[in-house]
A and B are shown apart, each in its own frame.
Chain A
Amino acid sequence: GAGVSQSPSNKVTEKGKDVELRCDPISGHTALYWYRQSLGQGLEFLIYFQGNSAPDKSGLPSDRFSAERTGGSVSTLTIQRTQQEDSAVYLCASSFHGGQPQHFGDGTRLSIL
């Protein structure tokens, strides 16, 4: 596609459930980033993938959060045993290489009941 694609666009789930969020980056982009946007914390970096290198996980808030990127393309962010404070918009971005301008998807709005 022409841009970064994220799915689902909205997700409502009960506290304690696991959720998976998907990101399909722009074709040819080797760098992929996940960010979280919430009212209390603003825009926060979560994790970064660059090619086949080990991901930078320094922004993940707890061990309930994990992400993978298969085949250097699609990425999945998984949140286990969701808590209400996980409610936020999760944004994915990609760039040609790390440090290059990042293009953002429309995000997944996650609501934990």
Chain B
Amino acid sequence: ELKVEQNPLFLSMQEGKNYTIYCNYSTTSDRLYWYRQDPGKSLESLFVLLSNGAVKQEGRLMASLDTKARLSTLHITAAVHDLSATYFCAVVRNTGKLIFGQGTTLQVKP
């Protein structure tokens, strides 16, 4: 059974600081997604990572994928309050269904 684990589950950080969220998964997969969810809102797609070594960046967020280690990271650079949200990684299985991590709630304090 595929398991997806995120670390940490909660992260409180100061504005301007850097931090990394980790996503480990237990079996092979050829693609991984990162989503953002604001309170009471739905999921917003951030990144799609399709191959080993893939790196994507959007603003202060950068995601990478190491399929050999079954690890993806979401790196936050110089955090700002607007980045406060819950971030999910999700691994694609079989027919395309997503298996989600537990989510990492990020709180950026001024």
Contact = CB atoms under 8 A, between A and B. Distances in A.
Nearest to B102: A42
Given A99-B31, A99-B92, A101-B33, A106 B41 contact: yes
A104 B102 CA distance: 18
B55 interface: no
Interface string B58-77: 00000000000000000000
A102 B103 CA distance: 17
Contact of B98 (A33, A50, A97, A105): A33
A97 B92 CA distance: 13
A105 B42 contact: yes
A45 B96 contact: no
A26 interface: no
Nearest to A92: B42
Contact of A104 (B43, B48, B95, B101): B43
Contact of B100 (A43, A95, A97, A105): A43
Contacts of A102: 33, 45, 96, 98
Interface string A50-86: 1000001001000000000000000000000000000
B96 A31 contact: yes
A91 B96 CA distance: 16
Contact of B96 (A99, A103, A105): A99
Interface in B68-110: 88, 90, 92, 94-103
Contacts of A107: 42
Nearest to B94: A56
B43 to A, nearest CB: 4
Interface of B: 31, 33, 35, 41-45, 48, 88, 90, 92, 94-103
Of all A-B residue pairs in the complex, the 4 with the closest CB atoms, nearest first, are A98-B96, A43-B100, A99-B96, A104-B43
Interface of A: 31, 33, 35, 42-45, 48, 50, 56, 59, 91, 93, 95, 97-107
